[in-house]
Amino acid sequence: MKTVVIAGASGFIGSYFARRFREDGWQVRTVGRAASANAQWDDDAAITKALNGAELLVNLAGRSVNCRYNERHRREILESRVLTTRALGRAAAACAEPPRTWINSSTGTIYRHAEDRPQSEASGELGSGFSVDVARAWEEELAGAVVPATRKVPLRIAIVLGAGGVMGPLRNLARLGLGGHMGPGTQKFSWIHVEDLFRAVLFIHERPELTGPVNAASPYPVENGELMALVRQSLGVPFGVPTPAWLLEAGAVLIRTQTELVLKSRWVEPRKLLDAGFACEYPSLAGALNEIAEGNR
């Protein structure tokens, strides 16, 4: 039986991955803060034991960015990504049989605000600001891990859609009649269904020629205005009031989040996956949202 180690398995994506790997016949070991995890973050020996003999390591650990970026939250967001990646690197280096593949979360937010052209792995331009600094540090930590027998792939993930994550707040806004476009409404929304993210991880693991950063996104991003129209449509809500940027700024303070999460134009092109022959099961946003809505009924 093949073994996968999932770090950060208690979140929305991690719990989905754990279930899907088990359904596909994998043995699943976990690293995290939960008492039920096979290894805790402060126990290098236990992490090494969990990794030893595993075929695949998937690191999804990281504090949610859906918060105000005050000093404490900034530190927690950075450390929850960099220090966990560092711990996994130490443990993998100590393994007699290290994992063959290490897929480490990164983020499509590493690219600049882009409304002019898509950002691929080869031609994409990195942005600036706190979120980009975190993504760079995260990827640098992975690159610095000395594990010569393990292929390391930073996965630059677009916004993940499923029965959790970002969809909850967007659906709630639509139900309240506030599901119109946000800010200008022309900013790009790159996304991927959680099932396609799982399939992309397996696809990358099975293809040793895929190296370096890999973008994980549907090849069909939409503008924010279309996103909100499709969210309303999936819920049967006929109308949504648009939210200007100034009101979003005020509202973000009240609900303790950042407007960057909806105002930044993310246009992530999954060029490496497309060139390698990967095809999404949910390529269109309408289909993805309808599947999620069906699952929530």
Mean pLDDT by 10 residues, the chain (297 residues): 95 95 98 93 97 98 84 93 97 98 97 97 96 96 97 97 80 84 93 97 97 97 94 90 81 64 90 98 93 74
Cα dist. 34→92, 103, 142 in Å? 21, 21, 23
Q: What is the reported pLDDT for 110? A: 97
Q: What is the reported pLDDT for 220? A: 97
DSSP string, the chain: --EEEEESTTSHHHHHHHHHHHHTT-EEEEEESSTTSSEETT-HHHHHHHHTT-SEEEE-----S-S---HHHHHHHHHHHHHHHHHHHHHHHT-SS--SEEEEEEEGGGBPP-SSS-B-TTT--B--SHHHHHHHHHHHHHHH---TTSEEEEEEE-EEEESEETHHHHHHHHHTT--S-BTTS-SEE-EEEHHHHHHHHHHHHT-TT--S-EEE--S--EEHHHHHHHHHHHHT------B-HHHHHHHHHHTT--THHHHS---B--HHHHHTT---SS-SHHHHHHHHHHHH-
Which neighbouring-strand residues pair with 105?
Answer: 155
Give the global pTM: 0.93
CA distance 51 to 7: 10
Q: What is the reported pLDDT for 251? A: 63
Are 74 and 126 in contact by the 8 Å Cβ rule? The answer is: no
